[in-house]
Structure 1
Amino acid sequence: MQISVIGCSYLGAVTSSCLAALGHDVVGVDINERIVAELSAGRAPFFEPGLQEILSEQGSTGRLRYTTDPSAVAGSAVHFVCVGTPQRAGENAADLRQVDSAVEGLLPHLRPGDVVVGKSTVPVGTAARLAARIAEVEPEATLVWNPEFLREGFAVEDTLHPDRIVYGVPDGPAGERARAILDEVYAAPLSDGTPLVVTDYPTAELVKVAANSFLATKISFINAMAELCEVAGGDVTALADAIGHDDRIGRKFLNAGLGFGGGCLPKDIRAFMARAGELGADEALTFLREVDTINLRRRDRVVEMARQILGGAVADRRIAVLGAAFKPNSDDVRDSPALDVAARLDQHGADVRVTDPHAIPNARAIHPHLTYVTSVDEAVDGSDLVLLVTEWREYATLDPAALAQKVRGAAIIDARNVLDPVAWRGAGWTYRGLGRP
């Protein structure tokens, strides 16, 4: 099929390249000249495992191209809207200006029978509003809401082999026709047995924010248990293992630690609360305020642990911070707990040295005053304390005996609970985990 993808940052770059890999002819449109230049040259503008390879492969087929020309969408039968919906400045609500702008720019080029596919995460009610606007200009075009469920670090796999596909479609023949067209777009994963849920606009919009809210709640729950374990002498890791064997609960997302960050979970749960308030249902989501509070409190706890280990103050003490990205296999530092902790320690006068395999350029753009180094050895050299704050595999598999030879003080805070306390203490380290004895 002829497909256009409007917005080619994280979501759009992955979506466009993977749609080409599924056999479609795709044009990606973005106003950012740098992103378009990078993608046109077959280079991923950010780190995402597998994206570089798929861009190179699909660029050579002629099925994938990128441009800043908004008229390039003309002639496509399906138009994916993949722009960002960041948190509105000074508020919890989502900023929908990019979504509105993308749709307005698309309107002059719509033809009868075209299908507009919304993938951006939006507040419930947005799809109905946009559908009405589209109908004013081209009544025979149809909007479908098709939320994305990409995990950073696994986005290519999640697009090519999703665990579910959701369509929010209007009632009647227009919705049936739009569904048939999307079935053709997703023919490959559907033929592999990917579950398909077809529903209405509001439910499709709610699926993504409900899923993210549930995951955030699960993470904050186990972090609340970690707080209790610390005062009661329990081990939150063993606790998570034990309750995780209950298949009603499951072990995934029960990893206590520094908490969640990134460009989705924090802003999505806040926007969800804001929209519930607008609809007069704010009491239904008041629990998410505590979920957010627990999550942010973990950062305070790590800073406090650093003070305790270093005798009550961090000023003028050298601290190695292993990690800047909000999660491994990503260079995303948006609302990164790791980078936030590093910045707080710096504000308290510590000599902070931050390292990360991929996120240093993005981290430097947000916190240019921090000291960044390219290797673990540089970060820990002469350090009084080591913080493991992003669970990159290369950090989780460090040799404690070898590392002990490089530091001034053999003390480590495992803020992701990925290290073996016995091995590290056996190598002479003062080891502290979150919610562990």
Structure 2
Amino acid sequence: MRLTVIGTGYLGATHAACMAELGHEVVGLDTDAGRLAALRAGRAPFHEPRLAELIARHTASGRLRFTASYEEAGAFGQVHFVCVGTPQRRDAEGADLAYVESAFEAIARHARKGALLVGKSTVPVGTAARLADAHRVEIAWNPEFLREGFAVADTLAPDRLVLGVRTARAERLLRRVYGTVLAAGTPLVVTDFATAELVKTAANSFLATKISFINAMAEVCEASGGDVRRLAEALGYDERIGRAFLRAGVGFGGGCLPKDIRAFAHRAAELGVDLGFLREVDAINMRRRDRVIALAREACGGSVLGARVAVLGAAFKPDSDDIRDSPALNVAARLDLDGADVTVYDPEAMDNARKAFPLLGYALSAEEALRGAELVLHLTEWPQFRELDPWRAAALVRRPRIVDGRGALDARRWRAAGWWFRALGSPAQPPPGADGATTPPDPADA
């Protein structure tokens, strides 16, 4: 089929490349000249595993191309996917729908007769119906469920497809678009507009709640002497709960969960429904950053003023260069304001971090960041950081002190190598001495 994708940010670029991979002819539309230049040259404008390969392959074959012209896109497409952003409003917690409304208005004005406009952006419930009533074109809603770092797989082999439609024709067209995916056995839910819109916001709210729940348990563990990692392990064996999203740490960030739960609570309040628990989910999440800063101060004797701090991580999650609402950079910037000498390293997000936080220090490698450090903060769970050798790392730093803000490092190994080691939700340790360690390493723990 002939498809267009309006907006080639994270969602749109991935969707366009994957639709081409499924055999469709695709035109991606964007108004950002720099992004268009990269895409036309066959380059991905951001880091996402496998995406650059697909863009290069299908721009070379001619199956995927890019434009800034709504006229061109409208004349070309049978189905138009709107994939623009819905950021949080500057003056409230609700979603800013300006980009969605503008995109629908523009493509509706130029779309061929019989074209189908499909929203993929995450929007407040009621948006699709309002847009359908405002434009004389057929509309459907097909929410995305992409995980950064797994977006290509999540598009080509999703765990479910949700279609919000008003007509059998819209359903037939979308079944054709996703024919290969459906033939592979992907579950399909066909529903109304409102339910389709709610699926994404409800899913993100549930995941955020689960993350904040285990982080609240981490607070209880620290107060009581419990160990949240063992607690999470025991909870995870219950099949009603499961193990996913039960790792305590510095909390969630990125461009979806934080703004989506706020927008959902805001929209629910407009409808007369109190989802106040989501505000507490948000508050618990933000408290985790405060706790990492408190542990950093504890490790440095009460103040980080003048302390050399190495921050391992800048992206909000591994396998991404996305720094939107990144807990790692938020903590790094706040420590910098407190007078610490902060050096950041991330395998993929360095350029984005430098643009957003130019006053922080940056290293070219984890080893360079560690050299001479008096405190190390592990804040993005990259495999490279989990695989660091604590004995070699101890030889690089000035004082072997580390706060594991992701609960992913092997505490026994790091302590065996002489490190003062704290993880969120773990039993307290005495403050480190001048050398950073609390007790000599036990060779039996190595």
TM-score, length-scaled by structure 1: 0.97
**1:90 Cα shift?**
2.8
Amino acid at match of 2:89: R
Amino acid at match of 2:255: G
Comparing 104-113 with 7-16, greater Cα deviation is found at: 104-113
2:290 corresponds in structure 1 to: 300
One of 144, 152, 162 as aligned partner of 2:158 = 162
2:393 corresponds in structure 1 to: 403
Amino acid at match of 2:22: L
1:246 corresponds in structure 2 to: 238
User: CA deviation digits over 1:301-352, x for unaligned, max 9?
Assistant: 0000000011000000000000000000000000000000000100000000
Where do 1:4-403 residues align within 5 Å?
4-73=4-73, 74-135=75-136, 141-170=137-166, 175-281=167-273, 283=274, 285-403=275-393
Contact preservation (8 Å) 2:29, 2:68:
yes
**1:67 Cα shift?**
1.0
Q: Structure 2 stretches of 5 or more lacking a match?
A: 428-446
Contact preservation (8 Å) 2:293, 2:335:
yes
Contact preservation (8 Å) 2:30, 2:67:
yes
Output the CA distance in 1 between the equivalents of 2:321 and 2:128: 31
User: CA deviation digits over 1:51-74, x for unaligned, max 9?
Assistant: 011111111221100011121211
Give the secondary structure class of the aligned counterpart of 2:396. Answer: coil
Output the CA distance in 2 between the equivalents of 1:249 and 1:226: 17
Amino acid at match of 1:315: L
Output the CA distance in 2 between the equivalents of 1:25 and 1:163: 24
**1:280 Cα shift?**
1.5
Output the CA distance in 2 between the equivalents of 1:90 and 1:47: 31
Q: Structure 1 stretches of 5 or more lacking a match?
A: 136-140
Give the secondary structure class of the aligned counterpart of 2:200. Answer: helix
User: CA deviation digits over 1:31-57, x for unaligned, max 9?
Assistant: 001111101101000000110111111
**1:75 Cα shift?**
2.8
Give the secondary structure class of the aligned counterpart of 1:103. Answer: helix
- What RMSD, in angstroms, separates the aligned Cα atoms of the two structures? 0.7
Give the secondary structure class of the aligned counterpart of 1:86. Answer: coil
Output the CA distance in 2 between the equivalents of 1:154 and 1:374: 26
Contact preservation (8 Å) 1:44, 1:55:
yes
Output the CA distance in 1 between the equivalents of 2:126 and 2:113: 24
**1:206 Cα shift?**
0.4
Give the secondary structure class of the aligned counterpart of 1:297. Answer: helix
- Which aligned segments of 4 or more residues in structure 1 are displaced greater than 6 angstroms? none
Give the secondary structure class of the aligned counterpart of 1:198. Answer: strand
Contact preservation (8 Å) 1:117, 1:143:
yes
User: CA deviation digits over 1:385-421, x for unaligned, max 9?
Assistant: 0000000000011000000000000000000011111
Give the secondary structure class of the aligned counterpart of 1:18. Answer: helix
Contact preservation (8 Å) 1:29, 1:72:
no
**1:372 Cα shift?**
1.1
Output the CA distance in 1 between the equivalents of 2:128 and 2:243: 35
1:138 corresponds in structure 2 to: none
Output the CA distance in 2 between the equivalents of 1:2 and 1:134: 21
Amino acid at match of 2:80: H
Aligned residues: 426
**1:358 Cα shift?**
0.8
Contact preservation (8 Å) 1:388, 1:413:
yes
Give the secondary structure class of the aligned counterpart of 1:368. Answer: coil
User: CA deviation digits over 1:253-272, x for unaligned, max 9?
Assistant: 00100000000000000000
User: CA deviation digits over 1:348-405, x for unaligned, max 9?
Assistant: 0000000101111111121111111121111111110000000000001100000000
Output the CA distance in 2 between the equivalents of 1:389 and 1:396: 11
Amino acid at match of 1:157: A
TM-score, length-scaled by structure 2: 0.95
Output the CA distance in 2 between the equivalents of 1:254 and 1:395: 20
Percent identity between matched residues is: 60
